[in-house]
Amino acid sequence: MCHRPIREISLFDFAFGAKSICFKCYLGLDPKFQHWEEDGVKFTSLYPYLEEYQSLLYLYKGCGDIELSKCFLERAMPYLKLRYRDYILIPAPSHFTKIATRGFDHVPLMFEGIGKKMVSLIEKTCDIKQSDLGKKERAKVGSMLRLRATPSLRKEKILFVDDVYTTGSTARACLSLIKQLHPKKLEAFVMAKVPKNRKELTAR
């Protein structure tokens, strides 16, 4: 993250087992777990969507610095591996032209380190940026998504994952598609949540 070499063996690695980032960057990534529920689904977010996270995401997603994919979960990895140990991950979809332009599918790659089975079950049929849509249009985001296949998930615990939660319209649309497959359990994990109001902002 800081472009400085990481010494191979340090007390820090020994103590924290961090593999991808240096101590300074490790401290800079400050997770603030938030939990809430929507339509009967438990949501968890790791970071508030503020400057530190925004710039890291921009370098990764916008500038294509693929090496940064490992940084996001570095601090929360032991917790996540345990918390979601028997879950299958379903990532939020990107449109195929975005993946082609960027050269990689950014959401699955961010969560790859958890080492869980991941199924890209949802497909984006229209290449429209969420932030370019008005409030009314955002509500229709479900019509731009579809299931690639319809396997039964009755015996599976599913974790829907995404990089940013803004209004939640994408997450809700994806979750309603997944619900059609009747998973045994369904939860959502978003890397960052846009603070809703001043109270949420100052709570950090």
Instruction: Note the residues at the interface with Zn ion (CB under 5 A).
Output: 1-2, 22, 25
Residue that the structure tokens 């997944």 belong to: 178
Distance of CA 195 to the CA centre of its chain: 16
- Nearer to Zn ion by Cβ, of 21 and 186: the residue is 21
Dihedral through CA 85, CA 160, CA 49, CA 68, nearest 10?
A: 60
Minimum distance of Zn ion from residue 32's CB (angstroms): 20
- Nearer to Zn ion by Cβ, of 2 and 128: the residue is 2
- Nearer to Zn ion by Cβ, of 25 and 133: the residue is 25
- Nearer to Zn ion by Cβ, of 22 and 186: the residue is 22
Minimum distance of Zn ion from residue 61's CB (angstroms): 19
The upper half-sphere exposure of residue 7, i.e. CA atoms within 13 Å in the direction of its Cβ, equals: 8
